[in-house]
Amino acid sequence: MAALKTIFVSVITAVMLLGGTATQEVTSTQLIEEAKAYDTKEIIYTGEVIGDIMQRGDHSWVNVSDGSNAIGVWILSDLVRDIKFTGRYKVKGDTVKVTGIFYRACKEHGGDMDIHASDIKILKQGYKISEATSIWQAVFTVLGLVLTILLSIHIFRKKL
């Protein structure tokens, strides 16, 4: 029993001593509100790729939104080649898990908050969002077109 207690205390002590080095999964709100605590720490951040992937030589900028905020991610261009969909109007972007170093005021990028990613994994492929046109939308569109044509003819005849 004493040996088990000693092992337990040793494990707890090791976890406490090494606790600052473990990679932690965080949200954008945590990164923004507790930026100083996460500065230069390795983190895991998950969200939807939005906007454009902006290539800058051998690196690229990717914006990743967890639904609350978006964080810029600086990553090797080779690691973003598998991203097929970026979120925008009528498109749901790929959901990714980013592992990297968080900077609250990155000196390399003009003092902006960003993540320098060492790895990115696609968790879920994005897709195009299709909206079916209802019969009523089509009917009102045709009626509006016919009414516009009739009014245009009426106005044109009055001017002659």
Closest residue by Cα to residue 29 from 64, 58, 68: 68
CATH 3.60.20.10 is held by the domain 24-128? no
Tens-place pLDDT, residues 80-116: 999 999 999 999 999 999 999 999 999 999 999 999 9
With beta carbons less than 8 A apart as the criterion, state whether 63 and 57 touch.
no
Q: Domain ranges for the chain, please list them.
A: 24-128, 134-160
CA distance 63 to 70: 6
Closest residue by Cα to residue 76 from 32, 115, 37, 34: 115
With beta carbons less than 8 A apart as the criterion, state whether 115 and 101 touch.
yes
* pLDDT, position 140: 87
- Kindly state the helix (H) or strand (E) to which residue 146 belongs, with its residue range: helix 135-159
User: What are the CB-based long-range contacts (under 8 Å, 24+) for 128-135?
Assistant: 128/85, 128/90, 128/91, 128/92, 129/90, 129/91, 129/92, 130/90, 131/90
Residues of the chain short of pLDDT 50, as ranges, are 17
Q: Is the pTM of this model over 0.75?
A: no
